[in-house]
Amino acid sequence: MSLTVTSTADPTRFLRRLCEILPPARVLAGPAQLAAYESDGLTAFRTAPLAVAVPETQAEVIALVRLCHAEKIPFVARGSGTSLSGGSTPVAGGLVITLNRLNRILRVDAAQRLAVVEPGVINTAVTLAVASYGLHYAPDPSSQSICTIGGNVAFNSGGAHCLKYGMTSNHVLGLKAVLATGEVVEFGGTSREQLGPDWCGLFVGNEGLFGIALEITLQLLPRAEVFHTVLAGYRTLEQAGDAVSAIIASGLLPGAIEIMDALALEAASAAVHAEYPPGCEAVLIVELEGPREVVAAQRPQLDALIASSGPVEARPARDATERAAIWKGRKSAFSAVGRLSPDFIVQDGVVPRRRLGEALRRIAEMSRVAGIRCANVFHAGDGNLHPLILYNGTEAGALERAEILAGKILHMCVEMGGSITGEHGVGLEKRDYLATMFNVDELDCLHRLRTAFDPLGLANPGKMFPDGTAPALAQHGLHPLEKAGLISRE
Amino acid sequence: MNAPLTPTSLAELAAAVRSAPRVLAIGARTKPRLSAVAPDVALISTLGLSGITEYQPDEFTFTALAGTPLREIAATLAARGQYLPFDPYLIDAGATLGGTLAAGMSGPGRFRFGGLRDFILGVRFVDGTGRLVRLGGKVVKNAAGFDVPKFFVGSLGRFGVFGELTFKVFPRPAATLTLRLPVADANAATQILTAAAGARWEIDALDLLPSADAIALRLAGPAAALPLLAAEILTRFPGEILSAANADALWADLRELRWTFADGPLLKLALTPAQLPALAATVRTHAGRLHVTAGGNAALVSLLAPIASLGLPALTLRGPGPLWLNAPASPAIAAAVKTALDPENRFPSLSA
């Protein structure tokens, strides 16, 4: 089954009709205007779209999608453009619909603990808006101070607290969306329970291939009363990994269990002036949270577990400021790595937790053989690795070599029984690896679902599926891995 | 109606689906109205597909065949200090894992960490073309491909036949403590449900009991902390702490639906706390019984005889009457998704 972007599209007519929907100031089509939208968080890929539309209302978004459908022009929805999988990389000849101006929090219902928001609302803005009620929105991707709920919904974003609280999908109760066909649907509602199939669950994580969410109903949780956050430094990654195993086996359910390796620590300490225990190959961050009586009862157990795991030093955060500093260092790690290297690729593979140590050893070995530096920051509680592969994009062949290493790491994750993506999505970056996780029948099943929502293949084409119809890549010729003979398209 | 087909392997399950033009999977039939379909539909029993195929306590995951009794899973997890946080119903009655997913039967404990949708990780299923496919994953975190496993929660077997399921599990809390908080009426119950749900106590379960005169509030966590939390709660809402034996009996009776009328319709509803008073009034008009769970977000209603409406969409799990009351509007995309997964309409429609 092929996704057809017909060649009969008439860009001139499309642009004319576009200007009938939006005032000229909100239609960007000049080269300088388009340049800002050429790529997202996956900067290795760039494509100029035909135009960028800046809607301000849901009605405008619906009209834009319907126009794209009528004119058979592909479209890509975009929030803050923080996708690390190239999820909002434009399609050549297509429209980018930016949703940042649909940034209204439409309703907060403190009694029912929910908020209804538009897709352009920034992740942390939800928690800010409900903090006075003692509530918060749990999913906390590292980019949460700039990424949007619409993007979180499209890619089912995770964060540091997924083991206990799940991903974005676990917090979406209902949504209104315009599908690629122009049809407007409402899934779910305001109850935490549902009758019939979970349409909301199917929509979240669709990577923009089904349509665009216009209104999202989010469940809110009471903010944990107290936290006990411990930062522990270890001589070796194995020791940190063993500490994680001991915590998991103890019956505790920490809100977060994170590890950063030496290279990531070097970057984070330079960027945010965090001071980590010296001489450590790994730092572990563990956080308990809950009512003060519960944390008081569990704290000695966690502290004893960490003390017996042989840390160089264990530092519990003594107050909210110290806790914030620990998390600032962790969450800034991705961008901090930018200080170590002009370019880097962030990977997102998942391995069974008990094989974390083995996975890290193999990554280190592959990194050494390839002669490419690789920093590791990961959600240890979930087995979700984030190797940061450092390269210099101005050096001939460097990106290609980095991508080959990235591919090897993904293959390792699948071979270990894990996944190619824990929370960043498949997007453009990993679409050629989808087939390592799913067989032909499974891919066909996913494809049939995509076609059900988007028969013309206009919504974010070229993402998730290795179907070879992506105008974005067609502009660049063969994928570097194809050139290397490592992958091929179906 | 012919005897159900009884596959004993996943390959046989796929063959069973292909063997008839119209099929529907059944488990232990503890929610029999969901599979009371036209006689031309061949039934496929999953009871021959039983057993935990993979359990990694240190991964917080297990994989089991669809016909595995919940009882076996709960016992296996308990032996390693873990549990099913979505707290399923009808464990003693013999309910299967697959039937629980298809019916969307998350129990009172879903209040704290979520329901089936929050713990299902992967599904191996036979689609309407008879192909055995696996979507989702086997690790606690995975974002590859569309989230079809989540879609299957509450899908009533109308989009595919489950063969094998992977779930996330959690460590079992060290202790539990249940409070019984008397309430004068449904309005008072709604107020307590709402206030308690937003409080700092991290409540594990929050239900209005079928007796309609009290709320059951369960705490779960370290033994030392629970009496302290309970004492504070009782200063806000008068009530009593139940003995461990009484608490266990209370939750077991709710779990096994022992409060229901034996022969009348049993219905499941999704609601919000604000809708509770009206629902309670309607149920009382019909001399029915009502168990409100998940802090006022879900309810089970037991009636003496079928009625036309409860004022909210409701799904009949057991007993006479139509499958749906006030059937929720099907999204327009539903037909296209049904065709994608079941192009020949081998499985009954959601409405039948």
pLDDT, tens digit (0-9, with 9 covering 90-100), for B321-335: 999 999 988 888 999
Residues 6 or more apart in contact with residue B202 via CB below 8 angstroms:
A222, A290, A291, A294, B112, B219, B221
Query: How much is the pLDDT for B53?
Result: 98
Measured between CB atoms, does A251 come within 8 Å of chain B? yes
Task: Summarize pLDDT for A394-409 with one digit per residue, the tens.
Answer: 999 999 999 999 999 9
Does some domain include residue A252?
yes
List pLDDT tens digits, range A357-413: 889 899 999 999 999 999 999 999 999 999 999 999 899 999 999 999 999 999 999
Tokens 């593979």 correspond to what residue? A349
Is residue A56 within 8 Å of residue A26, measured between CB atoms? yes
| pLDDT for A471 beyond 60 | no
Asked if A350 reaches chain B (Cβ–Cβ under 8 Å), the answer is yes
The answer to whether residue A436 neighbours chain B at the CB level (below 8 Å) is no
User: What confidence category does residue B1 fall into, taking pLDDT thresholds of 50, 70 and 90?
Assistant: low
- Residues of chain B contacting A293 with CB distance shorter than 8 Å: 224-225, 228-229
Whole-angstrom Cα distance, residue A136 to residue A158?
A: 15
Residue A415 has pLDDT above 80, yes or no: yes
Among chain B residues, CA nearest to A250: B171
Number of C-alpha atoms within 13 angstroms, CB side, residue B237? Answer: 26
Q: Chain B, 67-126: which have a CB under 8 Å from a chain A CB?
A: 81, 104, 106, 110, 113-115, 117-118
Helix (H/G/I), strand (E/B), else coil: A149: helix
Tallying the residues shown for chain A, one arrives at 490
Does the pLDDT value for residue A464 go beyond 90?
yes
Q: Is the pLDDT of residue A6 over 60?
A: no
Q: How many Cα atoms are found within 13 Å in the side-chain-facing hemisphere of A487?
A: 26
Q: Which of A48, A74, A98 is the last residue of a domain?
A: A98
pLDDT(A479) > 50: no
In a domain, A238, yes or no: yes
Q: Is A183 on the interface with B (CB under 8 A)?
A: yes
Per the domain annotation, does A42 fall within a domain? Answer: yes
Q: Is B55 on the interface with A (CB under 8 A)?
A: no
Report how many domains make up chain A.
2
Residue A180 resides in a domain: no
pLDDT value, residue A117:
98
- B62-92 pLDDT, tens digit each: 999 999 999 999 999 999 999 999 999 999 9
Chain B residues with beta carbon closer than 8 angstroms to that of A194: 104, 117, 153-154, 270
Residue A255 forms part of a structural domain: yes
- Left (φ > 0), alpha (ψ -120 to 50) or beta: where does A113 sit? left
A445/B341 Cβ within 8 A = yes
What residue spans of chain B are helical by DSSP H?
A: 10-18, 70-79, 97-103, 110-113, 148-151, 186-197, 226-236, 244-255, 276-285, 334-341
In the structure, how many helices (H) and strands (E) does chain A have? 18, 18
Say which of A245, A252, A290 has its CB closest to residue B202.
A290
Q: Which domain holds residue A32?
A: 11-98
Q: Nearest residue on chain B to A192, judged by CA atoms?
A: B297
**B339 vs A contacts (CB less than 8 Å):** 452
* Cα separation of the two ends of chain A: 11
Q: Which amino acid is at A152?
A: N
3-state secondary structure string across B230-280? HHHHHHHCCCEECCHHHHHHHHHHHHCCCCCCCCCCEEEEECCHHHHHHHH
Cα gap A358→B53, rounded to integer Å: 24
pLDDT tens for each residue of A291-345? 999 999 999 999 999 999 999 999 999 999 999 999 988 888 877 887 889 888 8
Asked if residue A308 is part of any domain, the answer here is yes
* Banded model confidence at residue B182, pLDDT cuts 50, 70, 90: very high
CA distance, residue A471 to nearest chain B CA (Å): 21
Nearest CB to B272; choose among A191, A354, A437: A191
pLDDT in tens, B122-147: 999 999 999 999 999 998 899 999 99
d(C-alpha A425, C-alpha B289), whole Å = 45
User: In Å, what is the CA distance from B237 to each residue of A55, A161, B129?
Assistant: 49, 32, 55
Residue that terminates a domain, selected from A336, A371, A393: A336
Domain end (from A297, A314, A336):
A336
- Radius of gyration, CA atoms only, chain A: 22
pLDDT value at A418 more than 50: yes
Burial of A318 (0-12, 13-18, 19+ CB in 10 A): exposed
Average pLDDT estimate for B261-288:
97
Determine the pLDDT at residue A367.
Answer: 95
- Mean pLDDT, chain A, whole residue set: 90
Return the sign of the alpha-carbon dihedral for residues A120, B329, A167, A224.
positive
Is the residue at A247 inside a domain? yes
* Residue percentage of chain B with pLDDT more than 70: 100
What would the two tokens of residue A377 be?
A: 């920051």
pLDDT of residue A462: 93
Report the residue of chain A nearest B269, measured CA to CA.
A195
Look up the pTM and report it: 0.94
The pLDDT of residue A487: 37
DSSP single-letter state for residue A163: H
DSSP string, B110-130: HHHH--GGGTEEEEEEE-TTS
For the domain that residue A62 is a member of, what is the CATH number? 3.30.43.10
All domains of chain B, ordered by start, with CATH? 45-171 (3.30.465.10), 175-325 (no CATH)
Summarize the confidence of residues B13-30 as an average pLDDT: 98
Inter-chain CB proximity A449 and B339 less than 8 Å: no
Residue range B252-277: mean pLDDT, rounded: 97
In a domain, A434, yes or no: no
| A165 contact partners, CB below 8 Å, separation of at least 6 | A138, A139, A171, A221, A255
Output the domain CATH number for residue A243.
3.30.70.2190
- Strands across the sheet containing B175-182: B240-241, B175-182, B214-221, B205-208, B289-293, B298-302, B266-270, B314-318, B324-325
Q: How far is CA B108 from CA A414, B209, B272, in A?
A: 36, 11, 15
